[in-house]
Chains A and B, each alone.
Chain A
């Protein structure tokens, strides 16, 4: 798979970026630009009636021709996630949904049972479902079989910056599923994103690693390069690991 494609749309960038937690709106927009990402995630929340409506994120992302990927973050049941997805489709005029059904507040690990139920309903309702899921090959396979447009296993817990905790599972998932494989959550720095791509992932979705970096715009640029480098390395094919040395310089014609 040379092209990165989601729901018949081809993207030049394999980095998907979140819009939360930046020091301010300006740094967020600069970071998104520096990342080269063409897909940005948003959450759906109640409108506040405090008078000031604040920045219009939807309008801003639209102006920049970004693909908007609404999430169902904060939902703990399939029922809530389905309603949120339907509200997002109506508000943002997109059938894309980053499906999150959380099972536990402390770890933010997915509730697999609820996730599979929600995915099934949303696929039937015509959504393009991108599920945030465990790095469990069987769950990923089931999500693919239900008709999800991608699978997005976590590298580590959301916002933890712990990197790819189980690269072997990610590798098995790569072998098992045909749909785009995107590592979502856990990336802490550029090398984590590169590792995900070197394992054969089609993309990386991250937020906190950039938003909470000391210099978010610079980290966004680093992530862009890491995703590109990791992808190139995967395509190039790494050499096998060996315990002992193999000289790279000629062994003959030495001075005596």
Chain B
């Protein structure tokens, strides 16, 4: 299925959960300092395993960067 991750279209396995997606993207789900929103709703870390993505899900994965 097709989803959007940080504005880029990606093709992934159907019903992938957020933890799986992070692993596919070579990000460690246990790494501190990242947060995920799906369709503009924040998904808490505790719900990553249970949250399956759907066709056209809009995923944002963010972290802290240098800022003023």
Contacts A46-B7, A90-B42 known; A158 to B68 CB distance under 8 Å? Answer: yes
* Interface range, A side: 35 or more
Residue of A nearest to B28 (CB): A53
Judge if A43 is at the interface, Cβ distance under 8 Å: yes
Residue with the highest number of chain B CB atoms closer than 10 Å, among A49, A93, A159: A49
Please pick, from A46, A47, A57, A93, the residue contacting B66 in the complex, using a CB distance under 8 A. A57
Judge if A68 is at the interface, Cβ distance under 8 Å: yes
The DSSP consensus for interface residues of chain A is mixed
Q: Are B26 and A207 in contact (CB under 8 A)?
A: no
Q: Are B65 and A43 in contact (CB under 8 A)?
A: yes
Residue with the highest number of chain A CB atoms closer than 10 Å, among B25, B26, B45, B61: B61
Please pick, from A59, A83, A159, A208, the residue contacting B40 in the complex, using a CB distance under 8 A. A83
Residue of A nearest to B63 (CB): A47
Judge if A134 is at the interface, Cβ distance under 8 Å: no
Please pick, from B26, B42, B65, the residue contacting A87 in the complex, using a CB distance under 8 A. B42
Judge if B62 is at the interface, Cβ distance under 8 Å: yes
Judge if A199 is at the interface, Cβ distance under 8 Å: no
Task: Report Cα–Cα, A156/B63, bound state, in Å.
Answer: 29
Residues 28-60 of A at the B interface (beta carbon under 8 Å):
28, 41-47, 49, 51, 56-59
Task: Report Cα–Cα, A87/B44, bound state, in Å.
Answer: 9
Please pick, from B7, B40, B64, the residue contacting A91 in the complex, using a CB distance under 8 A. B64
Residues on A close to B: CB < 8 A?
18-22, 28, 41-47, 49, 51, 56-59, 68, 70-71, 73, 83, 86-88, 90-93, 158-159, 207-208
